[in-house]
Chain A
Amino acid sequence: MMSQVELYTFCAVILLGMGMTGLILNQHIIRKIIALNIMGIGIFMLLISTAGVHSGAIDPVPHAMVLTGIVVAVAGSALALNLAARLKDMTEQADD
C-alpha cells in the first residue's frame, strides 16, 4: 500500500514528465505554455509532498515556496500569452 507522501511524489513525477514531453513535442504555442504550467504543477506537488516527509509536524516552508512559485508561474504565463497574442495580431495583419 502506498503512503500518501509516496502517492503525491509519484503523481508529481508523472506530471513533470508529461509537462516536459508536451513542451518538447508540441508545436502550437498555447500547448507549449500549458505544458510548462503542467511541469510547474508537478514540481509544486513534489514540494507539497515534501512537507509530509517527516512524520509528526508538517513543514510549512514548502507551502511558502509553492505560493511564491505560483505567483512566478502566473507572471511567466501572462507574459507568454501576451507575446503570443501580439504575434498572432501581427501575423493576421501581415496576411490582410
Chain B
Amino acid sequence: MTEVLPVEGFNFGPILIAQQPFSALPWVVMLPLIAALLCFTLYNIKAQRVISLLLGIGQMLLTVWLASIIAEDAASSVVHQLGGWPAPLGIVLTLNGFSALLLVMAAVIGFAITVYSCRYFTSSEQERKFWPLFWLLLVALNGIFISSDIFNLYVMLEILGLSAVSLVAIQAQRGALQAALQYLLVGLCGSLLYLFGVALLYRTYGVLDINLLSKVVIAEPVSQLALTVITLGLLLKTALFPLHFWLPSAHSNAPAPVSAALSGLVIKGSFYLLFVFWFKILSPAATFAGATFLGVLGAIAIVWGSVKAFNTPRLKLVVAYSTVAQLGYLFVLFPLFFGRPDLAMGAVAYFIVAHACAKAAMFMAAGSIQKAAGHDDIARMSGIASKMPLSIFIFAIAGASLIGLPPTGGFIAKWLMLTSAIESQQWWWVLVMLAGGLLAAAYLFRILNLAFTSGQDVPSEPLKNGPRERLWGPLILVTITIFIGFNAMWVLELLNAGTGVFALQPTDGLMTELANGSVNTAPSKEGL
C-alpha cells in the first residue's frame, strides 16, 4: 500500500517584497480592462479589431516579461499591495511561477482567438458585442491568476462567469440562449457555494489573504466543511463528472472563438482556484480520501466523456465532450499530490497548457469547418479533408496532442503524469491514463477517418460557403503545441523557479533518482 504523507502545502518560496511597489503587476488586469472599455465605447468594428490586436500583443509582451522576471529571480514571487495597503485589510496581488505560466498561456491563446475572431464573424452585430465581453473575460481570468484575496477572487469568478455566459448568448438562437441560461444558473450556484466557504473561513480565522490564511488554517471540522463547499462550488464551474451536464450544450452552442475561450481558458480559471485551495490555502484540511474520491470521479469522467464523444453526431459536441474527458486527467492527478507533489505539480501545469492550446485550436478548426460546410453533422463530412486541408491538418495535430502522441505537448503531459503515478506508487491510475489515450484516439480517428475517405455510397457534399480557411490563430497554437512538445524544459523551469517545488531541473531530479535506483525503468526521455 501507498504510504500517505500529509501534504504540507506548497511552499511557493520566500516572498520578495519589492522595495518600491512593483507597479507592473496591476497592469495585468488593467490592460485588458482598458481594452474592454475602449471596445465598448468605440462602437466601430475596425477600431475594435485594431485595439484588440495591439493590446493583445501588448498583453503577451507584458506577461512574458513578468514570467521572465520570475524565471530569472530565484526568489520566487512578486507581490504588489494595491493602494499601498498591507495584507489583512488591503488586497495583495501575488505572482508565482505557476500563475505566471498561466498568465502567458491566457495571453497567447487570447491573442490567437483575437486573430481568428477578426475573420470569423459574419454578423457585425455579434462581433460588436463580442470584443468587450471577450476582454472582460480576460480581465477576470488574469485577476484570478494573480489575486490573493479570497473575496476578491469571488468577484473575479463572478465576472468570469457573467462574461462567459454573455458570450455564449451573443448568438441569439434558441439553443444558445437556453444553454447560456443553464450555464448562468449553474455558475451562480457554484460561486454562491464558493462564497459560503469564504464566509465560513472568514468567520473562523478572520483573514481573507491567501498567505495569511494558509498559515492559520488547521485541520478541524469548520475548515473541512469550508473546503467541501468550495470544492463543490468550483467543481460545478469546472464541470467534473457528474457535474458536467451543462458543459456540452454551452460549449457547443457558442460561436467558435467563444467555445475556444471557454474550453481552453475559462475552465482552467476555476480549476486553478480549486487547486490553490486544496494544496496551498486549506492543505491541512485536505485528505487523501477526498483527493482519491476526486480522482475516481476524474477517471469516470475520462471514460464517460470519451464514450459520449464517440457516439455524438455533431462535430462541436465531440470536441465539447472531449473537454469533459480531458478535465478528468486533472483530477486523476489530485491523489498523486499525496505521493510526489513535485512531479504531480509539473504534470498539472503542463497538462493545463497543452490541453488549452490543443482544445482552442481544435474548436477554431471545427468552427471553420462548420462555417464552410454550413453544418457540423459528422456523417455528412466524408472527404472534407481534400476541400479544407488546413482545417483538418490543425484538427489532426490538436487531436494528436489530446491523445498524447509525440511530438506534441500532450505527449509530455501524459509522460509526466505516468511518471508521477508510478513514482507515487499508485500505479492503478496508469491504467486509466492509458485507456483514456486509446479512447481519445477512437473518437478522433472516427472523424479523421471520415474526413479522408470520399464516401462511395454517399457523394461528398459541396461546401456551402466555399473553403474559407483563415486560420492564422489556430496555426499559432498548433505551432506552440509542437514547440512545447520539443521544449518541455522551458515550461518546467519557469515552474521550478516560481514554486520552489521542483528540487532543480526536473531531469536532474529524475537523474538523481535513477542513480539512487528508485526509478526502476527509464523509457525513452527524448521529449524531456
Contact = CB atoms under 8 A, between A and B. Distances in A.
B199 A46 contact: yes
A83 B199 contact: no
Given A46-B199, A79-B166, A84 B181 contact: yes
Given A43-B192, A69-B195, A87 B177 contact: yes
B165 interface: yes
A83 B162 contact: no
A46 B177 contact: no
B203 A53 contact: yes
Contact of A72 (B158, B180, B181): B158
Interface in A48-67: 50, 53-54, 59, 61-62, 65
B53 interface: no
A29 B178 CA distance: 11
Interface of A is mostly: helix
Nearest to A5: B203
B381 to A, nearest CB: 29
A48 B154 CA distance: 17
B175 to A, nearest CB: 10
A32 B184 contact: no
B525 interface: no
Given A68-B155, A72-B158, A80-B181, A94 B199 contact: no
Nearest to A32: B185
B155 A72 contact: yes
A79 B165 contact: yes
A35 to B, nearest CB: 9
A29 B177 contact: no
B196 interface: yes
Contacts of B515: none
A85 to B, nearest CB: 10
A62 B181 contact: no
A7 B438 CA distance: 56
Contacts of B486: none
Contacts of B206: 54, 59
Contacts of B208: 61
Contacts of B161: 76
B445 interface: no
A79 B159 CA distance: 12
A43 B196 contact: yes
Contact of B202 (A39, A50, A79, A86): A50
A50 B151 CA distance: 15
A84 B181 CA distance: 7
Contacts of B180: 83
B151 A68 contact: yes
B199 A79 contact: no
Nearest to A68: B155
B172 A86 contact: yes
B184 A79 contact: yes
Contacts of B202: 47, 50, 61-62, 65
Interface in B161-211: 161-162, 165-166, 169, 172, 174, 177-178, 180-181, 184-185, 188-189, 192, 195-196, 199-200, 202-203, 206, 208
A83 B184 contact: yes
Interface in B237-292: none
Interface in B39-96: 89
A36 B185 contact: yes
B178 A87 contact: yes
Given A43-B195, A72-B158, A86 B165 contact: no
A40 to B, nearest CB: 6
Interface of A: 16, 20, 23, 29, 32-33, 36, 39-40, 43, 46-47, 50, 53-54, 59, 61-62, 65, 68-69, 72, 75-76, 79-80, 83-84, 86-87, 90-91, 94
28 contacts: A20-B189, A32-B185, A36-B185, A39-B192, A40-B192, A43-B192, A43-B196, A43-B199, A46-B199, A46-B200, A46-B203, A47-B199, A47-B202, A53-B203, A61-B89, A65-B151, A65-B202, A72-B154, A72-B155, A76-B158, A76-B188, A79-B162, A80-B181, A83-B180, A83-B181, A83-B184, A87-B178, A94-B174
